[in-house]
């Protein structure tokens, strides 16, 4: 299969988009994830705008016990102020995109948590539109995914950690209709030096299996064209082990093996998102990973009870 050159985003794609400005399902969102498996923690920051006017955000820290978060602050009706998405605040979450398409910084503080988090991309952002399955309009008009390295400081109820590691960010804009999503595996992993990373999403929707992703090798990004995923679930359907093998458009293969370090089952609308930080290995190199599995909440309840 012959592929077109990869899309190059412009600096203004870090800002708000007209496609997410109107309509009941209009949505723009930014996600930053920072797994810290050596501390059995996962930090996840998410900001969204709905219908062009409503804002929300969450900050959570997951620990070893997946039945509850170590920390959660969630605001569905949040206050926004700032300069577009260059430098802004959403209900106490301070956000700054100081270098377009590369660097994002977040700070948050309350009586329990004090967090400073910096993300630096290790390759140009990648759009799902460059995969053969494209980016369905019910998911977004467009979105990008980016592997990166993270650094920061976290103080949670007296426990203080300075960390350097890996992470992932995405930015999507357009329509988001969660009802189309039956199940997915959103897999992000990188080596600490940034020389190798993987993004993979496999989703079941309307009777089809959709595949998106890339492999990044020292800044050279190649589309994923084939994947095989195997995993073990615990009694709560939380993934404890994950094995992946992908082949990219160049014909090269990459392997991933991850094991549970921290996690939480986060409810959202009719779904439950199983968010897990993993200690991982990418092609024999130590790595960190964040693996999200999305499930229909009723399906999970029917199997595990509750």
Structure tokens at 298: 């009723």
Q: Among positive and negative, which fits the CA dihedral 188, 296, 268, 12?
A: positive
Structure tokens at 77: 């009706």
Closest C-alpha to 210, from 224, 222, 221? 224
CB atoms within 10 A of CB 77: 8
- Give the pLDDT score at 1: 67
CA distance 212 to 202: 7
Closest C-alpha to 289, from 281, 299, 297? 281
**What are the C-alpha distances in Å from 269 to residues 181, 257, 272, 273, 298?**
11, 30, 8, 10, 11
CA distance 189 to 243: 12
What does the pLDDT profile of the chain (306 residues) look like in tens digits? Answer: 678 999 999 999 999 999 999 988 999 999 999 999 999 999 999 999 999 999 999 999 999 999 999 999 999 999 999 999 999 999 999 999 999 999 999 999 999 999 999 999 999 999 999 999 999 999 999 999 999 999 999 999 999 999 999 999 999 999 999 999 999 999 999 999 999 999 999 999 999 999 999 999 999 999 999 999 999 999 999 999 999 999 999 999 999 999 999 999 999 999 999 999 999 999 999 999 999 999 999 999 999 986
CB atoms within 10 A of CB 54: 14
Closest C-alpha to 267, from 54, 58, 23, 53? 58
Q: Among positive and negative, which fits the CA dihedral 93, 96, 101, 103?
A: negative
Contact 210, 133 (CB under 8 A): yes
Q: Among positive and negative, which fits the CA dihedral 44, 284, 102, 272?
A: negative
What backbone torsions phi and psi does residue 272 show, to the nearest 5 degrees? -130, 130
- Pinpoint the alpha helices (H) of the chain: 297-304
Contact 93, 57 (CB under 8 A): yes
What backbone torsions phi and psi does residue 277 show, to the nearest 5 degrees? -85, 140
Locate the DSSP E strands across 122-252: 126-127, 142-156, 159-175, 183-190, 196-205, 208-217, 220-233, 239-248
CB atoms within 10 A of CB 98: 12
């Amino acid at each position: 299969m012959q592929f077109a050159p990869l899309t190059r985003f412009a600096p203004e794609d870090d800002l708000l988009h007209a496609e997410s400005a109107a309509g009941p399902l209009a949505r723009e969102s930014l996600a930053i994830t920072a797994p810290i498996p050596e501390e059995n923690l996962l930090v996840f920051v998410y900001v969204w705008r709905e219908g062009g006017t409503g804002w929300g955000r969450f900050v959570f820290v997951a620990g070893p016990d997946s039945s509850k978060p170590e920390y959660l602050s969630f605001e569905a009706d949040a206050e926004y102020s700032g300069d577009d998405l260059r430098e802004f605040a959403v209900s106490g979450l301070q956000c700054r995109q100081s270098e377009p398409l590369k660097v994002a910084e977040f700070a948050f503080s309350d009586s329990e948590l004090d967090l400073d988090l910096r993300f630096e991309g290790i390759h140009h952002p990648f759009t799902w539109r460059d995969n053969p399955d494209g980016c369905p309009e019910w998911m977004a008009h467009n979105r990008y995914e980016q592997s990166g390295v993270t650094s920061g400081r976290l103080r949670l109820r007296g426990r203080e950690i300075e960390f350097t590691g890996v992470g992932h960010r995405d930015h999507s804009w357009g329509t988001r209709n969660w009802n189309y999503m039956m199940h997915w595996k959103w897999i992000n992993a990188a080596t600490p030096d940034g020389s190798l990373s993987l993004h993979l999403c496999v989703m079941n929707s309307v009777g089809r299996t959709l595949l998106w992703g890339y492999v990044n090798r020292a800044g050279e990004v190649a589309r994923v064209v084939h994947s095989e995923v195997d995993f073990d679930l615990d009694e709560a359907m939380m993934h404890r082990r994950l094995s992946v093998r992908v082949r990219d458009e160049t014909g090269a293969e990459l392997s991933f093996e991850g094991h549970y370090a921290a996690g939480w089952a986060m409810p959202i609308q009719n779904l439950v998102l199983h968010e897990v930080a993993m200690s991982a290995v990418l092609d024999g190199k130590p790595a960190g990973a964040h693996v999200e599995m999305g499930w229909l909440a009723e399906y999970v309840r029917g199997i595990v009870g509750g």
